[in-house]
Amino acid sequence: MKIILLGGSGFVGQGLIAEMLQDKNFEITSISRSGGNAVLWRRWPQVKWIQADLSVNEAAWQKPLSEADWVVDLIGVLFAPDYTVYYQKTIVPLQKVIHFLQFEALRPKVLFVSANAAPRPLADYIHAKRELEKQLKERLVQRVFFVYPGLIYAPERPMVNLMGNFLRRKITNRLAPHLVKSLRPLKRWEFSQEVKKVLLSKKSWLCVRN
């Protein structure tokens, strides 16, 4: 099964790659602006690393997408000064991809990593996610699937890891159940396992927003 990870060299993408490589049925390609780095190339030589600008029509990303079984969108800027920046860095690149998938690459299914909720300061981040959800549903219809994670954490990001572990404590859940429910703290490996379920046509609780 050929899997394309858009933004696969990032924090979330690296966790997903580590999980998916445990299954020999997955053939993974990561497409990002950076194309990964020497550390990632050495760690996972079996992954195909492609450097490409998705906001420009070019064969570097269009050819692998046309041959894929799944395209997983992991592109997302968490912190930006305003919605204009979110739009340029998150929505614009994916619009080219959506157009290509709608009219030229009719084979792949798409898994969009949205968000369950976010604190008020990240309202523009959620707005951008919702806008992309709307466009994907309208243009790709039954070929698109969604997951709605919250805070994804792992030891590689100490502050986020600390926050995630705090939210997962029983006392936090007792004192602020609605906050914990909306922020949906997930260890990175837990998130990766749920994504893997979707790619294998299995049910995942992350496919429902709470």
User: Looking at 109-113, 118-122, 142-146, which range is the least confident one?
Assistant: 118-122
Question: Taking the alpha carbons of 139, 5, 159, 185 in that order, is the dihedral positive or negative?
Answer: positive
pTM (two decimals) = 0.93
Q: How far apart are CA 5 and CA 27, in angstroms?
A: 11
- The alpha helices in 104-122, defined as continuous H runs, are none
Say if CB 201 and CB 31 are below 8 A apart: no
Question: What pLDDT score was predicted for residue 109?
Answer: 98
Q: Please report how many Cα atoms fall inside a 13 Å half-sphere around the Cα of residue 68, on the Cβ side.
A: 29
Q: Helix (H, G, I), strand (E, B), or coil: what is residue 99?
A: helix
Say if CB 72 and CB 113 are below 8 A apart: yes
At residue 188's C-alpha, the angle toward residues 185 and 192, to 5°, is: 115
pLDDT tens readout for residues 151-202:
999 999 999 999 999 999 999 989 999 999 999 999 999 999 999 999 999 9
What helix, strand, coil percent values describe the chain, rounded to 5? 50, 15, 35
Q: How far apart are the first and last CA of the chain?
A: 30
Q: From the options 3.50.50.60, 3.40.50.720, 3.40.50.620, 3.40.228.10, give the CATH code of 2-152+187-207.
A: 3.40.50.720
- 123-140 vs 92-103: helix crossing angle, rounded to 10: 10
Classify residue 55 by burial, with Cβ atoms within 10 Å: 0-12, 13-18, 19+: middle
pLDDT tens readout for residues 59-116:
999 999 999 999 999 987 777 888 888 888 889 889 999 999 999 999 999 999 999 9
Say if CB 88 and CB 21 are below 8 A apart: no
pLDDT mean over 46-55? 95
